[in-house]
Amino acid sequence: GAGVSQSPRYKVAKRGQDVALRCDPISGHVSLFWYQQALGQGPEFLTYFQNEAQLDKSGLPSDRFFAERPEGSVSTLKIQRTQQEDSAVYLCASSLIPGSGTDTQYFGPGTRLTVL
């Protein structure tokens, strides 16, 4: 596709359920990022992939959060045993050039997760 796509766009989960959020980056983009955007806040970094390698997971808030990108393309962010504080919009972004501070990150529309 022309841009980054994410699915589902909206997800409602009961507390304690596991959820999986999908990201399809722009074809050919090496770098893939996940961000979490709480209501009324700016996005916050969660994790980074270069191809299939997860090089930075310093932003993952707990061990309930897990991300993978097994073939270096599609990525999945999984949250186990969801809690109410996990309610947020989860944004995926991709960029072409790894290790570049100036390369543009292209964002998907996000998945809005609501935990009841």
Partner 1 sequence: AQSVTQLGSHVSVSEGALVLLRCNYSSSVPPYLFWYVQYPNQGLQLLLKYTSAATLVKGINGFEAEFKKSETSFHLTKPSAHMSDAAEYFCAVSVKSGGSNYKLTFGKGTLLTVNP
Q: What does the binding site for partner 1 look like in residue numbers (CB under 8 A)?
A: 4, 31, 33, 35, 40-45, 48, 50, 55-56, 58-59, 91, 93, 98-102, 104-110
Token duo for residue 73: 């393309």
Q: How far is it, in rounded angstroms, from Cα 19 to Cα 79?
A: 5
Please give the full DSSP string across 12-25, using - where no structure is assigned: EE-TT--EEEEEEP
Residue number, 13 or 98, with CB nearest to partner 1: 98
By beta-carbon proximity to partner 1, the closer residue of 17 and 50 is: 50
Q: Provide the minimum distance between the beta carbon of 39 and partner 1 in the complex, in angstroms, as a whole number.
A: 11
